Structure 1
């Protein structure tokens, strides 16, 4: 993967040139440095994981949370917490309703 020296965006290969789609910066490709790059070319991710027979307790923690889907009366949700903002701010909580699968998030404001 190559990143733009001007704006930091990911660059895309266009023949023998790297092109930034954000700012238009161009740079010649270097086959020696590209040999060390990891690509997703030729990788397949078609494996479907069957979770139908997995116990809820094995999937992750749940908590009391009212589902925001108006068509669902679910009051339990799986949750996960991630630090997606600045380190001095609280984590964001991501929920998935165990009844309907609706996903939502909560931030401390």
Structure 2
């Protein structure tokens, strides 16, 4: 992946050049550098984490956060590493009132 030196936008390949979709700037591609780039191609996909069968007693600690369903301000939480090791953990919440489940990722 390349970013434009002029405007900072992500560039796309067009033959032997990187071309900025925003400002039109071009720069030649470096084949040797591209071969060393790390891609997500071939990496394992993360498994689906199912918390539907977990009882409230097993859910663990609670935290102050607002339930998007009922507006309650407490939820059980659990953190799991479900993406690549260099990505942050995902937080899973279960409302202490209505038991609505949701997740929160850092982006």
TM-score class, shorter: 0.5 to 0.7
Distance 1:8 1:51, change over 3 A: same
- Secondary structure at the aligned position of 1:63 is classed as strand
TM-score, normalised relative to structure 1: 0.54
Number of aligned pairs? 86
TM-score, normalised relative to structure 2: 0.55
Contact between 1:77 and 1:97, CA under 8 Å: does it hold in 2?
yes
Contact between 1:74 and 1:100, CA under 8 Å: does it hold in 2?
no
Q: Unmatched 5+ residue regions in structure 1?
A: 80-93, 105-109
Note the 1:1-109 alignment, pairs <5 A.
Answer: 1-45=1-45, 47-53=47-53, 55-57=58-60, 61-69=61-69, 72=70, 74-78=72-76, 96-98=93-95, 99-101=99-101
Give the alignment's Cα RMSD to 1 decimal.
Answer: 3.4
